[in-house]
Amino acid sequence: MAGVLEKALSALFDEPVKVTAAGRTDSGVHASGQVVSLATAAAFPFERLAVALNAVLPADCSVREAAVVDAGFSARFSASQRTYVYAIASRPQRDALTARYAWHLPRALELDPMRAAAAQVVGEHDFQSFCSILPVGPSNEARSTVRSIYHLTIEPCGGLLRLEIAASGFLYRMARSLVGTLVEVGSGRCSGDLAGVLAAADRSAAGPIAPAHGLYLAGVRYDDGYDSFAEPPVFAARLRR
């Protein structure tokens, strides 16, 4: 996505453009509330930027809004909270219309054990057990794997299961690892002792990584009150009913 957006912006501004995204997403992960920032000296009618970009971007990439902000703003480093939403289709028969946007599981999940397990990871914890690659700094020094989860909800929504995770930040594949582990709990293949998984500080203690195509970066919040949250389309129509 970043490369596609940079190419379009570079053409519009007639200069090389690099963007900073609020969150990095693996191949196959969707974003309904991504935020990016950039610096440019181009003279451009920025109130028309979203329209201009959507005229040249490919069909699978679109811009909702654009604004001029203070020079010190960073989509990534100024963010105070990120929210991911995950879609699960838990039913015997797969649905071709949601195949690219929800993880199909041909069996029912027990929600009460999943919710009890999810409650154990809310708050500030070391999430090393849910991280595929440990974060390092510019000089290869180890960085903290402590993060704060503000809420983790699991609710049925129009025939799908909707998981929402809001946190101060996410480690590499942390959201998908949490979802995969919770599915193991709901399937009865895991005890639900996520406190023990956290304490182990070992990736092998957690469950498998959930597929990328069910995950959405749905929103990014900033201290000035701005929140880019947009309900993923796979749920939006169902929530309006």
- DSSP assignment of 67-123, as one string? ----TT--TTTTEEEEEEEEEEEESSS--GGGTTTSEEESS---HHHHHHHHHTT-E
How many Å apart are CA 132 and CA 178, to the nearest integer?
Answer: 11
Q: What are phi and psi of 165, to 5 degrees?
A: -125, 120
Tell me the two tokens of residue 234.
Answer: 């796979």
Residue 70 annotated to the active site: no
C-alpha torsion 15→20→25→29, nearest 10 = -60
Q: Which of 26, 95, 112, 202 is catalytic?
A: 26
How many Å apart are CA 220 and CA 75, to the nearest integer?
Answer: 9
- Asked whether the beta carbons of 188 and 110 are under 8 A apart, the reply is yes
Q: Catalytic residues, which ones? A: 26
